[in-house]
Structure formats: structure tokens, C-alpha cells
Chains A and B, each alone.
Chain A
Amino acid sequence: MIAATFQLDYASASGVAHSAGFCLDVDLRLPEKGVTALFGHSGSGKTTLLRCVAGLNRAPKGRLSVASEVWQDEARGIFLPTHKRPLGLVFQEASLFPHLSVRKNLEYGMKRSGNKAGEGFDASIDLLGIRPLLERAPEGLSGGERQRVAVARALLTRPRLLLMDEPLAALDLKRKQEILPYLEKLREELDIPMLYVSHAPDEVARLADHLVLLENGQVVASGPLMATLARADLPPAFAEDAGVVLEATVAAHESDGLTRLEFPGGQLYVSCRDKPLGSRLRCRIHTSDVSLALAAHGDSSILNTLPATVQTIVATDTPGHVLAQLALSDGTLLLARITERSRAALGITPGLAVIAQVKSVALFA
């Protein structure tokens, strides 16, 4: 487990771009496996939290332990400086040393972390597809290539914790699409925990296993990704990005061009011919793409209909709209954003059996 407790106000955080009065106050228990996304809007303190974990900022009342190792415990006067923490760090912008070749950049951390033999060198550069770049200078690389080198450089120090501070934020959409598959591969092959700071819901939905939502320096939710995204009680600030994530298996490519995905709560028809049968993929269903009907009729063009039971209904901060949380037969939760008028007209209340109509499904490889 990673246990992190930090209290830090603006005055003591050098190099942090926050207005006066900002204060980080978190107490987190994070899993030791998988990707934990620190999600929040700008100014929510997610980067400051990451810098505290890295030891780049020192919270006066901080405690941090990773597995059984204590990295910081101010009560006992313990604070490991960054260079003594076995972590890997990837920043938002390309941070390769411009005076060193790609290979020398990779070797910089290897040499200093006792990995002189280059353990994992071939695996890392192949995982990130940077073998052809080794002798190049960072100057000549694209933004996506630089970030891949930066990730490999961090991995080659054999870290026990990998930290990523919005590694895709400075890239354009095309570059993002180019690098995301590498990060997904990394998630599958990595056996150390990763903290991933992001303000992009899509990246979080694709990569994260665990989700921490931050607002004004406070943790507003922390838990497994899918369960946390399906919560109906998240603060209004996150309503814009709300939507659940499902993990499904490619079951069949049907003759009319559609592909059938199966998940424990039902099945969905989507368009993805290129995925082999049996492969697992994540899909995201936005709250405003789910509508409700009382009965299944065949007179709608909406193909994906899932029988569900209404769990709770809460108000949203959009006038006239409510958020309904639905449970599918296996307990999988969906969120639907509907108007209060429709809710009243259909008499939708908790406990009612309804049909959830899913208008669109976003697929992540």
C-alpha cells in the first residue's frame, strides 16, 4: 500500500503555481498495483500532490510510505530527498537533457541507480519503440518520441513507483493517439504502481485502475475506477466529465458490420472490426448518452438497450436535469442524465425497472 498524508499551504510550496490561500490537505491509501489516476481541474492540487510524493515539494506535515518503506515522516524528522527515492518521474513537457543523445539520456539514470548492466534495457526500448532513436539528439525528435524516451529513461532506473505528471498534455491529438497505446502496454506489463496526473477524462478512463478525484487541494473521492466513476454523489464540478467505464470482451463480428461486445451485465453493439475475438477492451458511456424507457419497444433506432433498475436519483447543477444511477442485472452501474420533466412524466423513482438506451459508446483500444 502507498500511504500518503500531506498538509501544505501555498507559502511553503516553492515553484507551485497557485494563488495565495491554496492549501493541499490529503490523506490517501493507494493500491500497490496498477495505475492510480489523480484527476482534477487545473488548480485542484494534483500536480502539487505528485511533487510531494516525489519529494520536490516538502509538506511540513507530511507522511509518505511506499510498501514498507518510509520516504517521509516529519513527526520523526524523516525526509528522503528526491534523488534518494526509488521513483521514476515523467513531466508534462519533454524534459530530455538537450546536451545528451537519446542513449546518453537513458544511461544517465541507469548509471546512477545502480543499473550499470542495463537490466531491462532492450525490453524497455522495445516496449516504447525507441530503438531507432538511440543515437539521435533530443532536438530532432517529435514531442511524442521525446515523451517515450522520457518514460523509458524513468523505467531504466528500476523505480518502485512511477509518477507521471500529465505526460500527454503538451501533445496534440495525433501525438496523443500515437503514445497512448504505449502507455497501455506499459500498464499491462508494469508490476509497480503508477500515479498518473491528468485532467483529461479519456486518458483516465483508458489507463486508470484506481481513481482519486481532487478539488481545491482536497480529496473528494478515491476508489476503484469503475465504482468511483459510477458514483452519483460526486461534486458538480465533475458532472461535465461524468460517465461510467465498462470492461467488455469482443464476442462476435457480425455480418452487417457490427461487433458484439459482452460484459457481465449485458451486451453492446459497436463498430470495431479490427479487434480480434476474445480481446478485452474498455468502453466509456457518457451520462448524457443514456436515456431511459419504461419498456423495450422495437420502434427505436437505438440498438443498445439494457434492462436496469433505478438506484438513486440526484439533482445536477444543470437546471431541469437529474442524474439517475442504474444497476444492471449483475450489479454493474450506469449513470443517465435525464430531464426532470421526463422523470416526472415516466414516474421514474428508485426501485423501478427500466430499459437503459445507450446512444453511443466510446471505445478504448
Chain B
Amino acid sequence: MAKVEEGLYYSTTHEWVKVEGEEALVGISDYAQHALGNIVYVDMPDEDDEIARDEEFGAVESVKAASDLVAPVSGTVLQTNTVLDDTPGLLNSDPYGSWILRVRLSDKSELDALMDAAAYSRFCESL
């Protein structure tokens, strides 16, 4: 059973968003890391890049497959988690502690379209 952390927003493509004021951290869920298997590479955007909701902003590569990362929110990339360059496996061992991007949110109302932990749990069970 995939773990779901309370207090985060979730997308149907299994990214999570943790809001901190006008900024947010973005990562992938436990369900996503489990489905992908051992992750070997994370392709991240550059700082200051703009990401747009529902559009691809990077990719994760595992021993099984490469999968696009889809932006759950729009905004400007403030920071990427460069620790993942050398230890991409952190996304497997600690998916909610390992953020991929820190972004400045351009439209906080976009969060309304995302799921909370309870809704995301139900969504994962339905898959």
C-alpha cells in the first residue's frame, strides 16, 4: 500500500506539492516511486525556468522506464535539488522528504484543482 503524506497537494500524475507561503516544493509520491522502481536519473529544469501546470518539466529514469514529470502548478523555478544528481535513489527511499523543485507559485488558485491526502489515497486505490 503506497504511503500518502498528510498536508500535501497531489496531482493525478502522482506529483506532490508542499506549500510554504508563496513558494512550494514539488516531488513525486510514494505510489510513483514504487511504480517506477529504482530511480537512476532525474532530469530537472534550470533555475529561473518557468513551469506551466500540466506541462512536462523534466523526467525521471528508472531501471524499468523513463517517465515525464508533469508540473502540478505553474511558477518560476527557484531551486532544484542537486543532491538528486548523485543520489537519485533518495526519491525511492524518502519520496516525501526528497523534493525535486522549489518554485515561486504564479497562481495559488491552481492548488484548488489538486487533491488532498484523503482524495489522493482514494485515487490510488482506484488504479
Asked if A and B are interacting partners, one says: no
The interface of chain A, by Cβ under 8 A from chain B, is none
List the interface of chain B (C-beta within 8 A of A). none
